[in-house]
Structure 1
Amino acid sequence: MSDKNTSVKESGENILNNKKADNKVFYVSLAVVFAIVGWGLLSPDGFGKAANGLYVFLRDTFGWMYLLSMFFFVLVAIGLACSKYGKIKLGPDDSQPEYSYVSWFAMLFSAGMGIGLVFWGVAEPLNHFVNPPMGMAQAGTPQAANLAIKTSFFHWGFHPWANYSVLALALAYFQFRKNAPGLISNIFTPILGEKGVNGPIGKCIDILAIFATVAGVATSLGLGTLQINSGLNYLFGIPANTVSQIIIIVIVTILFMLSAVTGLDKGIKFLSNLNLGIAFTLMILAFLLGPTIKIINSFTNGIGQYLGGFIADSFHIEPFGDNSWLGGWTLFYWAWWIAWAPFVGTFIARISRGRTIREFIIGVLLVPTLGSFLWFAVFGTLGINLGEGIAQEAIKVTETAFFVVMSKYPLGMIISFVAVVLLCTFFVTSADSATFVLGMMSSNGDLNPSTRKKIIWGVVQSLMAFALLLGGGLKTLQIASIAAAFPFAIIMILGCFALFKELKKENV
């Protein structure tokens, strides 16, 4: 190892030693989270107007930046995988991966998409089928159907996973190869130096990361609770009300806290493998019971359309026309994925020690993307195949769209029941992954955070989800977290350059 590499390694160790007794990030983060929730509960209208106003301003003024940033992340990921740096290991040269491919894919997929796929797998394609993007097709036609599948592929394809992969790669590289603490601020050691990373700028980056994680996950937990409640109501007549939602949150909180406390190798790994098995079973069932040939054709055609329009779609924004659809879908998704990057990136980095950069990018970019394509091809086609009338009925309430469509097919009740089980396991896995990551972020990057901090963050997440569910502020919190995470687009771009700067010192 060169003298420069040794100095960075020593710098990382110094940062870790300097931060061990420093709990400021933990306490300030808790204060920020409670202040935001308090504002949302005490003055929901004021909070909603402020959050929405900021988001609309950022979307309308900087929509181009979201598009350019996400495409830049795709270029960086593919470029690194194809470069001479691809053979560098995320750890010492003799390190080996901690997890098998199956467990690794299962964990990163569960943390990265999970509950969102069940929530939107039917609902998004049907929305585009009934209301084609930017008036590019007539509603309910074969052209609208093709466009619906292609658009869903685009929103859940390479862009979000490239966004996750560049941050996760930088974190894993500095964490395992340079022995720096597992904090996002430490990516910037080559640019800011030890003093800058250990000072106010570094702490602000870490606090912002914690807020984005708590807000994003709490929103997803709230939406997951609504869909689980809707599914149970649809299947078993269990009332869809506050009492049911409280019971669901309490039960799931107990489950994910047990999982988080047992650690990464037992709880999270086991549940992620279980998720993968249930999701695969659900998809095969739907594939066999639905219009099988149409599903295969949708998958094939969707990939062709997706790849064929990739560049144009990546940069598509109307300079003279109406961008309301783009703002409500593509730009909203791009901002949402960036808001989720601190959480998902930190978690993926933590489980990727010992893999090469090339192996890491292929695994994080290609495998989950193909999984998402299969999911939308199967469930999107099942919904579209029923026609425009059923599609309009299904999308009236997003939480029940999946169950409305499944009820029209043989064994639909069984598929719906399996989906509710999958929602629960995805719910638990997302929550305990986030609890683990928040423990790391607020413990100076400790790879095995204390049970106490994991419990605190687990309780905070659930209370936040519940409070905002009661106050009707889930959507508002989602918008607030996206607006607050806007700086992360800039942080991630700078992080890429910091990674390049450090990679140049490698002997390859």
Structure 2
Amino acid sequence: MTSAPPEPSAARPRLGAVFWVSVTFSLTFVLVGVLSPETVADTVGGIREGVVERLGPVYPLTVLVVLLVVLGLAISPLGRIRLGEPDSRPEFGALSWLAMLLSAGVGLSFLFWGTAEPLIHTVEPPAGQAAPGSEAAARDGMRWSFLFWGVHAWALYAAVGYASYRRGRTVLISDALRPLLGRHADGPLGTVVDILSVIAILFGVATSLGLGTRELNAALEHTHAVPDSYGTKVAIIVGLMTVSTISAMTGLGRGIRLLSLANLALCAVLLVLVLVLGPTREILGTAGTGVADYVRHLVPMSLGTEGGEAGQAWQREWTHFFWAWWIAWAPFVGTFLARISHGRTIRGLVLGAVGVPGLVTVAWFSVLGGTALQRERTGATDVAEVAAEYKSVATLEVLGTLPLSGLALGLLVPVLALLFITSADSASFMLGSATSGGSMRPPRPLRLMWSFAAAFAAVLLLAGGPGSLRDAAVVAAVPFTVILLALCVALVRDVWGDRAGVRHESAWSPGER
């Protein structure tokens, strides 16, 4: 690992309007949520209904535009341009880089959804195009799972990541928009952009950690009869956030990096274990047909038009929510990606941050989802109906049918904890950066404060459970959708200005292979 890139002088820790407005908003939201949870639930739910009704179709189109921009830059000669100065080289090795990226980008939900989503789509077919419980429904469910967790979603991170932290700038979203905003990036307009980005991060992280906490509580109730209650959920959040805080305080090179590597290793072992002990032939067949179906239906799925009018309700419930959720996470993971990707080329970043996660998605959903479908089909387990409500319970039941199931279930506990912790401490690191003027060394007290931003999750759970969490993600994504499209324009304009130096740069560096 090389030394850290020099921090721009403009990025020294400083608290300004972004910090004070964000903190005031957070405290106000938590206070209102504690005193009147119904008000929070009704307000967020009402806004969400209006957003989905009027702006829902904009989400899939936005994601598609971002994917095309990112891929276009990567395959063009501009793909040789580096994040940083032309002679910059990666700070982190490829394995550490991928481990931190994957750990921050997927969070706790990836584990449970990998098993449960194909089952859910089997009993509730996507866009209403197949008979419930049929083989066609199972195949449709797999290709939609590949779409929701694959390259489309990760392209959002890559776009934000490469637009940030260039030419000595900070990782602030307003700084990434400088090619469009000019001097206004340092004025009120830039401040508003950064505040909206912080709010999107808070709600995006709250959604994932809140839903993950709910699933953890359900898993503990299923295995150890731990009460499924609000108090238990708060205890889970406080316990894991305490460990997360300790990790975040040690910085990127030690805490976050080492935990991410441990997380990657355990996930790989779990994946191989299920592949070997599970129905290997069926898993490989699921992967093959799933990829073929995904490619065949890629255009209508990307546009969110599959199923026509009959599928509109399903599209609102699934497509619009998933893309809103990913968009809400984009400022957090994207800026975190920028921080750990200094010295990498556009091409290297897109290959690692879009291509590799796309392959991981196919492998993860094929192995866990394929095993779940095979077990359900053969009658070894009957959890398809349960999967929609508690994905963790479905995962536990499916893993429990494997030979040496105790080993797989034993790996599940540390994997769950590490996925929660690595997402939370990465988020607190970037929240500290975003609210301290873009500093890549935010003060420890500030990072400590944002480590407990999971109070958002607790309040939303109190307000309305998983419905409110999903509503919050959709609402938070609205302003950042506009920012994201502007970011693509700024990125293309900025990179195009660097085209004269492209021929002097090599496409790959030893640190990227």
Q: TM-score if structure 2 supplies the norm length?
A: 0.91
Which residue number corresponds to residue 122 of structure 1?
A: 115
Contact map agreement 2:210 2:469 (CA 8 A) in 1: no
Amino acid at match of 1:329: W
CA 68–393 in structure 1, closer or farther in 2 if over 3 Å, else same: closer
Q: How large is the RMSD of aligned CA atoms in angstroms?
A: 2.0
Contact map agreement 1:161 1:365 (CA 8 A) in 2: yes
Contact map agreement 1:44 1:473 (CA 8 A) in 2: no
- Structure 1 position 462, deviation (Å): 3.1
Which digits, 9 at most, give the CA deviation of each residue in 1:87-130, with x for residues without a partner?
Answer: 11111121110111111111111111131211211111100011
Greater shift in the superposed pair: 376-385 or 392-401 = 392-401
Q: Are residue 315 (structure 1) and residue 303 (structure 2) matched?
A: yes
Contact map agreement 2:321 2:470 (CA 8 A) in 1: no
Amino acid at match of 1:298: T
Greater shift in the superposed pair: 51-60 or 34-43 = 34-43
Structure 1 gaps of 5+ residues are: 1-11
> Any residues of structure 2 matched to 1:127-142 within 5 Å, and which?
127-142=120-135
Contact map agreement 1:216 1:478 (CA 8 A) in 2: no
Which residue number corresponds to residue 358 of structure 1?
A: 347
Greater shift in the superposed pair: 409-418 or 79-88 = 409-418
Q: From 151, 167, 170, give the equivalent of 1:178.
A: 167
- 2:148 & 2:357 partners in 1: Cα distance? 13
Q: From 199, 205, 219, give the equivalent of 1:217.
A: 205
> Any residues of structure 2 matched to 1:428-439 within 5 Å, and which?
428-439=421-432
- 1:228 & 1:413 partners in 2: Cα distance? 18
Contact map agreement 2:33 2:459 (CA 8 A) in 1: no
DSSP-derived class of the 2:92 partner: coil
Which residue number corresponds to residue 54 of structure 1?
A: 47
- 1:427 & 1:314 partners in 2: Cα distance? 29
Greater shift in the superposed pair: 216-225 or 129-138 = 216-225
Q: From 447, 453, 457, give the equivalent of 1:465.
A: 457
Contact map agreement 2:461 2:468 (CA 8 A) in 1: no
- Structure 1 position 336, deviation (Å): 0.8
CA 300–191 in structure 1, closer or farther in 2 if over 3 Å, else same: same
Which digits, 9 at most, give the CA deviation of each residue in 1:404-432, with x for residues without a partner?
Answer: 22222223333223112211001000000
Which residue number corresponds to residue 505 of structure 2?
A: none
CA 45–469 in structure 1, closer or farther in 2 if over 3 Å, else same: closer
DSSP-derived class of the 1:99 partner: coil
Which residue number corresponds to residue 372 of structure 1?
A: 361
- 1:322 & 1:146 partners in 2: Cα distance? 17
Residues paired across the two proteins, number? 489
Amino acid at match of 1:372: T
Amino acid at match of 2:392: E
- 2:250 & 2:304 partners in 1: Cα distance? 46
Q: From 301, 312, 335, give the equivalent of 1:346.
A: 335
Which residue number corresponds to residue 491 of structure 2?
A: 499
- 2:491 & 2:230 partners in 1: Cα distance? 47
Q: Are residue 489 (structure 1) and residue 477 (structure 2) matched?
A: no
- Structure 1 position 234, deviation (Å): 2.7
Which residue number corresponds to residue 4 of structure 1?
A: none
CA 473–34 in structure 1, closer or farther in 2 if over 3 Å, else same: farther
Contact map agreement 1:66 1:489 (CA 8 A) in 2: yes
Amino acid at match of 2:108: I
CA 468–46 in structure 1, closer or farther in 2 if over 3 Å, else same: closer
Contact map agreement 1:59 1:327 (CA 8 A) in 2: yes
Which residue number corresponds to residue 334 of structure 1?
A: 323
Contact map agreement 1:215 1:478 (CA 8 A) in 2: no
Q: Are residue 70 (structure 1) and residue 50 (structure 2) matched?
A: no
Q: Are residue 144 (structure 1) and residue 137 (structure 2) matched?
A: yes
Q: From 221, 225, 232, give the equivalent of 1:237.
A: 225
